[in-house]
Every structure is written in structure tokens, then in C-alpha cells.
Structure 1
Amino acid sequence: MSVVRSRYFVPAVLFLGLAVSFRFDDAGAVWLWVGQPWVAVIALVCSAAFWILLLRDVRRHRTT
């Protein structure tokens, strides 16, 4: 099983993208969570959890 075919790949990438999202306004590019950094921390924790699950899933399928 490859990393991309794992069921954990999409949530891992989406949560990571959510954590590092930015927006454009008159000042230029601004981090989306500048006023609420705890949202980004939660998204990073979720992303890390899904990456760990993904790597364990891929490793388990390679050995069987």
C-alpha cells in the first residue's frame, strides 16, 4: 500500500493545510489564524495524529 492510497492521507494533508493557511488583504498575505492561534495548534495536532496513523498503516501493509 502506498502513502497516497491510505485512508489517512487526505485528512492528514487537509489538517496540515488548514494549519498553515493564509489569506490576502490590504496588508498582503496574512496567516489565517493570527487572532486564534489555538485553532492552528489543534489542526497541527490532528494532522500529526493522522500522519502517525498513516505511517503505521503503510508499514503494517508492507510487512504482510
Structure 2
Amino acid sequence: MPKLDAALIDALGGPMPELEQLSAANQKKLAADLAAAHQAHDAFLKQSMDNALEHIPRLLRGTVKKILGL
């Protein structure tokens, strides 16, 4: 039985023994797919935040971004 790929463990946030049944190639593909999904999700959240900030008056946007830690 193959050992779990380190990138896959990192992407999942911890080991999942049932995934050891996947081949090494499938583990690497799953890790890459998860990383791509996380990047797409982050981009979507950033775009959503930018869209939400458009409803804030322009003079207040900088202050609101600082408050939100952006």
C-alpha cells in the first residue's frame, strides 16, 4: 500500500488513511486539484470583497480596508 503524498497531506490539513488506497499518481493529481480549487476559491473571495467594497463611498474604502485587514 503506497504512503500518502506529503503535498496531499498538506492540502487536506492532515493525514487521511483511506486515501492511501489511491495510487501515487492519483494522490499527486488530487493534491494538485485541491491546490487549484483553493486558489480559485481565494480569487473568488477577493473578487467578492472588491465588489462589496464598491458599495462603500470611495473616501471611506481605505479606512474600511484597514479595519478589515485587507
Q: Which has the larger radius of gyration?
A: 2
Q: Which has the higher strand share?
A: 1
